[in-house]
Amino acid sequence: MNPTLESVVFASPSVALKVNQLSRDLAKENQLFENQTLNTTIIFKYPNFDAAQAPSEDIIPGLEDFLADKTEKKPIRTAIFVPKDAKDVRLGGFGIFMDDDKFPELSERYLGFKIDKTIRQPDAEKLAILENCPSFDPFLVKEAFDLAGTPIDQSYVTISEEEAQQVRGLIQAKLKPIVAKALNLSHEGKIENSSRQFLETIWDPQAETGAHFIAAFGIGIGDAPKVFSAWKGVAYFDNEFNQRQSESRQLVAWLKSDASSPSDYAKLSTQEKQQIDMFRKSVTSKILNVSNNISLILNRYQQSYRAFIDHDRPKEFQKFLMGAEKYYWTLGGCNGVLAQVIGTWKRYMKAATGTRLNYEVNERMLKVCDAILRARGEDKQIAL
C-alpha cells in the first residue's frame, strides 16, 4: 500500500467519507446510494492548492486566485476511490475526480453508474451535495443534507443531535454581539431572542425571520444562503482549530524532540540518519505552515469581527462575509490536512512499543505525513 493510498484508507472523518465501512451493516434501503458499487467506495477531499506553503504577509496559499476572482475552481476537489477488491481496499484501486470533464465516462466505466442530466437521479444529487461540502466533518455533512432536504441515515453522520446543538450553541454565542450591533439592541432578552432568530436564518435563509437580518448586513437575498452557510462553516472551523491546537503543538514538539528519532538511530548509516532528520524537519515545517495559514484566515475573521463589535466599523465584517465562501473552502482544506497528519501520528504511536518508533516504521509514518502535506488535486488521476 503506497503512502497516498494509506492516507486515504486511514483518513480522518473530516477528509474521507468511508461509505464502504458505513454501508456494510445497513439494510439496502438505508444505504447512502442506490448504486451498490458506490456503496463500496471511499469519497475523499483533495486540496487543490499547497496547504503547507509558507504564507507571505499578504497572501495565504489557496486564496491568491480565489480572492482575486481569477478562477472559479475550488480550493478542494472531491474524489472517489473505487477499490479493486471491495473486501480489501489495501489492494488499491482507481481514484476519479468528480470535477473531471471525463467524470461521466469514468463513472460509467468504474462505478457502473451512468449519469443522465435529463432525469432526476438521487445518487447524482447526493454526490453533488457531498462535492459542495469543503469537509466531511459529520456536523457539516449533516447540515448540508438537512439544508438540501435529502434524508441520510444517521450512520453516515456520526454526530448526535445533542452534539449538533452544542455546536450551534457555540456559534450562537458568537452571534449575539453581532446581532445586538446590527439591530441596535441593548436589552439582553431582546438580544437573546433576536440572536436565536438570526441563528435560524443562518441555518435556513428562507425562514420568515431572515429578511431584516439579511438586509441589516447588506447582503443580497440571492447571496444569503451561500454567505450564511460559509459563515457558519468559518465559525465551525474556528472552534475546531482551537480544539485541535493542543494536539498539533504536541506533534510539533514530538517531531522536534529526540523522541521522534528512531529507537535504533545509533545503528543507522550516515545516509539513513540524514534522511530521517530531513523528513522530520520537512514535516515539522509544513505542519507549522498549515497551522499558520489557518491562523491567518481566522485572524482576519476575528479582526473584522472586533472592528464591528468594538469600533462600530461594520464594513470590514461585511467584506469578510462576502468573501466567506472562499475562506471557508480554504479552511476546510487546511483543517483536513492538519487533522489527517495528527491522526496518522496518533495511529502509529498507538501501535508503538514505548515512545519511539524503529527506523522502518518511523520512515513510513513520515512518508505518509509528507504525502498528506504535499497532496494536490492538479492531476487528472491519483496513484492509488
Provide DSSP, 309-325: HHH--HHHHHHHHHTHH
pLDDT in tens, 315-372: 888 888 888 888 888 888 889 889 999 999 999 998 777 778 999 999 999 999 988 8
Predicted local confidence at residue 363, as pLDDT? 92
Q: 377 pLDDT band (50/70/90 cuts)?
A: very low
* Helices assigned H by DSSP within the chain: 3-9, 19-23, 64-67, 103-111, 122-131, 138-148, 161-182, 188-203, 210-216, 224-256, 270-311, 314-322, 324-350, 359-373
Q: 293 pLDDT band (50/70/90 cuts)?
A: confident
Output the nine-digit C-alpha cell for 342: 495528527
Percent of the chain with pLDDT over 90: 35
Q: Is the pLDDT of residue 205 over 70?
A: no
pLDDT in tens, 26-59: 999 999 999 999 999 999 988 876 655 655 544 4
DSSP letter assigned to residue 176: H
> How is the beta sheet containing 16-17 ordered, strand by strand?
16-17, 42-47, 76-83, 93-97, 381-382
DSSP bridge partners of 77: 46
The rounded mean pLDDT for the chain is 82
Q: Is the pLDDT of residue 380 over 50?
A: no
pLDDT in tens, 241-275: 888 899 999 999 999 999 999 999 999 999 999 99
pLDDT in tens, 113-163: 998 887 789 999 999 999 999 899 988 898 889 888 899 998 998 777 777
Residue of higher predicted confidence among 73 and 75:
75
If we measure between CA atoms, which residue out of 115, 119, 159 comes closest to residue 139?
A: 159
Across 57-71, 104-118, 214-228, which has the greatest mean pLDDT?
A: 104-118
Distances in Å between the Cα of 249 and the Cα atoms of 13, 242, 365 are 21, 11, 18
C-alpha to C-alpha distance for 142 and 139, rounded to whole angstroms: 5
Query: What is the signed CA dihedral for 104, 106, 112, 117, rounded to 10 degrees?
Result: 0
Average pLDDT estimate for 102-108: 92
* Angle made by CA atoms 321, 73, 12, in degrees to the nearest 5: 80
Predicted local confidence at residue 207, as pLDDT? 60
C-alpha to C-alpha distance for 9 and 102, rounded to whole angstroms: 24
Output the nine-digit C-alpha cell for 365: 509514518
Predicted local confidence at residue 219, as pLDDT? 74
Q: Is the pLDDT of residue 214 over 80?
A: no
Residue of higher predicted confidence among 14 and 4:
14
Q: Is the pLDDT of residue 276 over 80?
A: yes
Alpha-carbon Rg for the chain, nearest whole angstrom, is 22
C-alpha to C-alpha distance for 76 and 330, rounded to whole angstroms: 7
Predicted local confidence at residue 313, as pLDDT? 86
Q: 280 pLDDT band (50/70/90 cuts)?
A: very high
